[in-house]
Amino acid sequence: MQLIKRDWRSQVRYLAGQCLCGGLGLVFLTFVCFRLGLNLATTGFAYLILVALVSLIGSFIGSLVLSIIAVGLLNYFFTEPLFSLRAEYPQDILALTVFLTTSVIVTGLAAKTRRVAEDAQASQKALADTIPALVWSALPDGTRDFYSQRWLEYTGLSAEDASGNGWAATVHPEDQAAVADKWRTAVSTGRPFEVEARGRGASGDYRWFLIRAEPLRNEMGIIVKWYGSNTDIEDRKRATEALRQSEAQWREVFEHNPVMYFMVDTTGTVLSVNGFGATQLGYTVRELIGQSVLNVFFEEDRDFVLKNVAVCLGALGQPQSWEIRKVRKNGTVLWVRENAKAVRRSNNQVIVLVACEDITERKLTEDALRQSQLYLAEAQKIARTGYFRWGITTGEIFWSDEVYRIYGYEPDEKPAIELAMQRTHPEDLARTQQHLENLMQEERDWEYEYRLLMPNGAVKYIRAVNRTSRDAFGNLEMVGSVIDVTAARRAEEELHQAQAQLMHVARVTTLGELTASIAHEVNQPLAGVVSSGNACVNWLASQPPNIEKAMQSVDRIVRDAKRASEVVGRVRDLAKKAPLQKIRLNINQTIQETIVLARREIEQNRVSLRTHLSSDLPLVWADRIQLQQVILNLIINAIEAMNALSDEPRDLHVSTKRDDSNDVVLTVRDSGAGLDPRELENIFEAFYTTKRGGLGMGLAVSRSIIEGHGGRLWATPNEPRGAAFHLTLPIGRQEAS
């Protein structure tokens, strides 16, 4: 109700204002015409013009009221009698009536014309608001004068705020300069305006718009209006950007993916190839496009290629794959796995898409593996070593060809534990079965030797190396090797016999060199026996016989006889081929016994012997004869090394001690010419000698003996001159065995 009253009052005020303005106009016009002395007709025409003008901008009622006022003024000022509302002449009454009628008609026509214009304007606005875009218009100079309701609602601006150049505030700051520059150019040149820019909405968010404007020209070609629209392209922009990024990504994948891609038509002509693939073949993309794809294949493989392409064309959309060689531009081979599919394009053209995976390295690996397997099989055969795998939980067993050969079975025989047990030597069968049970229970690695008894009665010595473990499913399995060591065992036996013979020869050779010294040692007690026997005879022949003195002579005879017997026994032990017999012995005592054998050589060569034998040494576990052989060899070598000395002292020093490892160390030092530091290891090699006429076996045999006792033998320079030979022997390590 208040709204209705407010509208009614506004209309009354508008009507009063129209009547006031029109009335003032009539008063002014009446004053001018009256002063000029114009007649009724002229003044009425002037009044009619004023009423018509007021009708164009005012309401019909106001114009009607103004027409009535105009009739009154004409009657009052311009008809007889003047200054009276009474008209005496009929022609004046007719003129007033015509004026009023004409004024009413003009006022009605003006009102109707105004309503038509208002309806047209409202229709135009409704049309602009209906268009699904933000519509606007501008004057010829580019100033905006109209915005659709959609434009105002989206931007949140009022028509007053957006008028003129107020619209520019809705453009993103980064786009304002470009939009303004293009708009000025369009206005100045009259060419259509088009630009993409971001527009701000009422929420403050920006969206992309396509802004267009077309000029409206009159019949003379002059621009009278600009009509424009802002079309929301945000979704299209995002879709386009997403498509562009997707295309860029796929192009990046296509160009740089380390896979060769080809697109060929049904005739085999290359339509497209990625850069990686072209480079992999040694070509550029331009060199391959338009050429036959067969050019990158060996001639003998092209029929195979055509056959596979035909299969693809016969099964559209179904992937096919094969492996084949390709030839690079430089002639080298490239193995690929090709995955191909024939598809139909939108233009109904059938093409074949091919993705090629480089498998050259895999092929080389497979070839190398096959070759390696051949080599392995041959190596197993040469080395007499077979490989086996036993799934203890699953029961699956695998034997290599060499295992079949070692056990004497044919390769088509299914491997089984029972087959292995059938070949096991009866004397080793129980021990072998127990060994297998231990393997399954303890799940640890083993190395085991046993014998096979072959059907022909031959015996083979076998060494098995086993490793047990569990797979990813917890199943117990064993892998290992079976080695035929029969030849090695026989060779070891023959070598052992040869070494024993060589050691015996070395001892006999040494004894031959010490013949004079041994004879001297034997002669001394024998001379004592003769002398003591003569004395005993004399003491018994005296009157009365001296029994006490005779008994002393007999004691000396017995002592010297034992002494001679011991020397002969030591020589006999060294000379005979006795088996190795390790016992606990005192190394100092062994050294003293050996020095007795070499005493003659020491005295004849004017050698000064000094011994420093530690008294707190434990017993060592060794063979007395072999240990004497080593000590004697070192002493004789030392004596011979000092033979070349003339005036210099000839010092021979034999010492024993215990080292940090609690082993016994024996050292023999001389003051001879010494050894070349570069020859310290060579002197222990077989047949290497620095003595004229020497065999070069003494030190080699000595080192072998000491290492067989678990010790070590080496040489060092002696200070200030000469050489020193050291040997170590472990103690107490065999007492419990």
Residue 29 to residue 414: CA distance in whole angstroms: 137
Q: Six-digit token pair at 61?
A: 């009622």
What pLDDT, on the 0 to 100 scale, is given for residue 667?
Answer: 95
Higher per-residue pLDDT: 207 or 21: 207
Residue 286 in domain: yes
Q: How many CB atoms lie within 10 A of CB 519?
A: 13
What pLDDT, on the 0 to 100 scale, is given for residue 58?
Answer: 64
Higher per-residue pLDDT: 417 or 350: 350
What pLDDT, on the 0 to 100 scale, is given for residue 737?
Answer: 36
What pLDDT, on the 0 to 100 scale, is given for residue 132?
Answer: 66
Residue 491 in domain: no
194, 213, 239 — which closes off a domain?
239
Give the sheet arrangement for strand 446-453, strand by strand.
397-399, 385-391, 476-484, 459-470, 446-453
What pLDDT, on the 0 to 100 scale, is given for residue 442?
Answer: 67
DSSP-derived 3-state class of residue 690? coil
Question: Residues 41, 153: one domain?
Answer: no
In this prediction, residue 54 has a pLDDT band, given cuts at 50, 70 and 90, of confident
Q: How many domains does the chain have?
A: 6
Question: Can you spell out the DSSP letters for 47-59?
Answer: HHHHHHHHHHHS-
In this prediction, residue 500 has a pLDDT band, given cuts at 50, 70 and 90, of low
Residue 4 in domain: no
Residue 305 to residue 298: CA distance in whole angstroms: 10
In this prediction, residue 33 has a pLDDT band, given cuts at 50, 70 and 90, of confident
Higher per-residue pLDDT: 704 or 504: 704
Residue 137: is it exposed, middle or buried by C-beta count within 10 angstroms (0-12/13-18/19+)?
A: middle
Task: Indicate whether 735 pLDDT > 70.
Answer: no
Task: Indicate whether 28 pLDDT > 90.
Answer: no
Residue 202 in domain: yes
pLDDT digits (tens, 9 = 90+) for 343-384: 888 778 888 888 888 888 888 777 776 766 665 556 555 656
Question: Residues 331, 445: one domain?
Answer: no
What pLDDT, on the 0 to 100 scale, is given for residue 515?
Answer: 58
Residue 82 to residue 102: CA distance in whole angstroms: 23
Contact 280, 260 (CB under 8 A): yes
pLDDT digits (tens, 9 = 90+) for 146-187: 888 888 888 888 888 887 788 888 899 999 899 999 999 999
Cis amide prior to 544 (ω within 30 degrees):
yes
* 658 secondary structure, DSSP code: E
pLDDT digits (tens, 9 = 90+) for 543-574: 888 778 778 778 777 766 766 666 565 555 55
81, 97, 122 — which closes off a domain?
122
In this prediction, residue 713 has a pLDDT band, given cuts at 50, 70 and 90, of very high
pLDDT digits (tens, 9 = 90+) for 62-119: 677 777 887 777 777 877 787 777 777 777 777 778 777 877 777 777 777 766 666 5
Q: Where do we find the tokens 């015509």?
A: 98
Amino acid (one-letter) located at 279:
T
Residue 9 in domain: no
Residue 247 in domain: no
Question: Residues 465, 552: one domain?
Answer: no
Contact 469, 390 (CB under 8 A): no
Q: How far is CA 367 from CA 28, 84, 337, 381, 659, in A?
A: 120, 135, 16, 21, 58
Residue 323 to residue 167: CA distance in whole angstroms: 67
Task: Indicate whether 506 pLDDT > 70.
Answer: no
Residue 186: is it exposed, middle or buried by C-beta count within 10 angstroms (0-12/13-18/19+)?
A: buried
Sign of CA pseudo-dihedral 56, 62, 64, 66: negative
DSSP-derived 3-state class of residue 719? coil
Question: Residues 647, 735: one domain?
Answer: yes
Residue 523 to residue 518: CA distance in whole angstroms: 8
Taking alpha carbons only, the member of 153, 132, 133, 135 closest to residue 145 is 135
What pLDDT, on the 0 to 100 scale, is given for residue 736?
Answer: 35
Question: Residues 567, 653: one domain?
Answer: no
Cα-based angle 200, 203, 209 (whole degrees, multiple of 5): 30
Question: Residues 634, 719: one domain?
Answer: yes
What pLDDT, on the 0 to 100 scale, is given for residue 726?
Answer: 94
Contact 588, 613 (CB under 8 A): yes
What pLDDT, on the 0 to 100 scale, is given for residue 605?
Answer: 85
Q: Where do we find the tokens 């678990």?
A: 710
Question: Residues 414, 506: one domain?
Answer: no
CATH number, residue 604: 3.30.565.10
Query: Averaged over 485-506, what is the pLDDT?
Result: 62
Q: Where do we find the tokens 């092929």?
A: 363
DSSP-derived 3-state class of residue 181? helix
What pLDDT, on the 0 to 100 scale, is given for residue 6?
Answer: 41
Residue 8 in domain: no
Strand 664-670 with 206-217, pairing:
unpaired
Q: How far is CA 460 from CA 407, 425, 456, 638, 714, in A?
A: 9, 9, 11, 47, 39
Cis amide prior to 90 (ω within 30 degrees):
no
Strand 664-670 with 446-453, pairing:
unpaired
Sign of CA pseudo-dihedral 701, 702, 706, 709: positive
pLDDT digits (tens, 9 = 90+) for 580-630: 678 888 999 999 988 887 887 888 888 889 999 998 899 998 888 888 888
Range with the poorest average pLDDT among 238-242, 302-306, 509-513: 509-513
Question: Residues 144, 199: one domain?
Answer: yes
Range with the poorest average pLDDT among 527-536, 606-615, 678-687: 527-536
Residue 3 in domain: no
- Structural domain span for residue 95: 15-122
CA dihedral angle for residue 229, residue 235, residue 240, residue 246, rounded to 10 degrees? 170
Residue 42 to residue 48: CA distance in whole angstroms: 10
Question: Residues 217, 337: one domain?
Answer: no
What pLDDT, on the 0 to 100 scale, is given for residue 125?
Answer: 57
**Average predicted confidence (pLDDT) for the chain:** 78
358, 379, 405 — which closes off a domain?
358
Question: Residues 617, 705: one domain?
Answer: yes
CATH number, residue 458: 3.30.450.20
pLDDT digits (tens, 9 = 90+) for 201-230: 888 899 999 999 999 898 888 998 898 888
Residue 420 to residue 584: CA distance in whole angstroms: 44
Task: Indicate whether 35 pLDDT > 50.
Answer: yes
Question: Residues 144, 231: one domain?
Answer: yes
Q: How many CB atoms lie within 10 A of CB 687?
A: 9
Long-range contacts of 231-240 (CB under 8 A, 24+ apart): 231/133, 231/134, 232/133, 232/134, 232/207, 232/208, 233/196, 233/208, 233/209, 234/207, 234/208, 234/209, 237/196, 237/208
Question: Residues 298, 422: one domain?
Answer: no
